[in-house]
Amino acid sequence: MENIDWANLGFGYRDSDFNIRCYYKNGEWGELEVSSSNKIEIHMSATAIHYGQEAFEGLKAFKGQDGKIRIFRMDENARRMQDSSEGTLMAKMPVEKFMEAVRMAVKLNEKFVPPYESGAALYIRPVLFGTSPQIGVKPADEYMFIVFVMPVGPYFKGGFQTTPFVIMREFDRSAPLGMGKYKVGGNYAASLVADKKAHELGYSNIFYLDAKEKKYIDECGAANFFGVKNNTYITPKSSSILPSITNKSLMVLAEEMGMKVERRQVPVEELSTFEETGACGTAAVISPISRIDDYDENKSYVFSKDGKPGPVSEKLYHKLRAIQYGDEPDTHGWVEVLD
């Protein structure tokens, strides 16, 4: 096998040796199948292609100091994919079958799991979509589920660091009663223009307000938001936010560290009162925010002047990573150690 420069890997597609596939036909799921091809053949009128009948997941496996591979909270991803299936009228992949497919994909590609020292991880991408032809808008009769994996580099190459975000009211991520709470590809297609503009202006991400009133904080890029003040971890509650498993985990850890945790509407002006803010998700765990510029109102909320994250973000980040890599005991049953 080629020599992989683990520590300098980015977040880009890369082939591994095998992927796991499963087909839904005649009202039931078939057996899990192993494939060594990175291609699929589906009907040109598949519902996934025309009407976006698709959902995906993202999770990671980590190699510990003991050489063992750990998968983080995959039961949560399995259940979230079922929720996404409800939101798109797709066949639901059973939780146990989803987890078995993930285990198989990781084990068969064991040599792609980066070594402990690199700080890199194996990214796992389950995807589910409608494959049978429709031209009228209707759900498919047949579905395909795939799990593929690839090694991805450490998110922070130069150490744990802050970046600037921007509020732009000309873009919405999702409507209050829309699809924002599901992990579906359409939400990502809808975010590309906003993302491009934010990047061109020198920001790492766009910061979304609620679409209806533009009063409350919703999500930042494809990550959940949290703010810290007075020993309290505060994260928005909204019907258009994707329930992040990282955020859910951080809330538990914050509470165990003796902090108060609040999940509630967060008015945008409250940003001026936070000591620390961050975006959270599987990719980075926490991406701490240096400042949030309000593009429309010519205003700036500053959280870090020297690029360094605050102490709470720092502590939460290292705590969660330590659990994922097996450096600290998994007291919550979040980690499955592969045998």
Ligand X SMILES: *Cc1c(COP(=O)(O)O)cnc(C)c1O
Using CB under 6 A as the criterion, which residues of the chain lie in contact with ligand X when the complex forms? Answer: 58, 183, 219, 222-224, 242, 244-247, 281-282
State the nearest-atom distance from the C-beta of 103 to ligand X, in Å.
19
State the nearest-atom distance from the C-beta of 155 to ligand X, in Å.
12
Nearest to 115 by CA among 58, 153, 158, 155: 153
Nearer to ligand X by Cβ, of 33 and 255: the residue is 255
SS3 letters across the chain: CCCCCHHHCCCCCCCCCCEEEEEEECCEECCCEEECCCCCCCCCCEHHHHHCCEEECCEEEEECCCCCEEEECHHHHHHHHHHHHHHHCCCCCCHHHHHHHHHHHHHHCHHHCCCHHHCCEEEEEEEEEECCECCCCCCCCCEEEEEEEEEECCCCCCCCCCEEEEECCCCCCCCCCCCCCCCCHHHHHCCHHHHHHHHHCCCCEEEEECCCCCCEEEEECCEEEEEEECCEEEEECCCCCCCCHHHHHHHHHHHHCCCEEEEECCEHHHHHHCCEEEEEECCCEEEEEEEEEECCCCEEEECCCCCCCCHHHHHHHHHHHHHHHCCCCCCCCCEEECC
Q: Give the CA angle between residues 55, 207, 159 to the nearest 5°.
A: 90
Nearer to ligand X by Cβ, of 181 and 291: the residue is 181
Nearer to ligand X by Cβ, of 205 and 224: the residue is 224
Nearer to ligand X by Cβ, of 203 and 225: the residue is 225
Nearer to ligand X by Cβ, of 53 and 244: the residue is 244
State the nearest-atom distance from the C-beta of 223 to ligand X, in Å.
5
Nearer to ligand X by Cβ, of 84 and 132: the residue is 84
State the nearest-atom distance from the C-beta of 281 to ligand X, in Å.
3
Nearer to ligand X by Cβ, of 74 and 140: the residue is 74
Nearer to ligand X by Cβ, of 86 and 297: the residue is 86
State the nearest-atom distance from the C-beta of 56 to ligand X, in Å.
9
State the nearest-atom distance from the C-beta of 248 to ligand X, in Å.
8
State the nearest-atom distance from the C-beta of 250 to ligand X, in Å.
9
State the nearest-atom distance from the C-beta of 43 to ligand X, in Å.
27
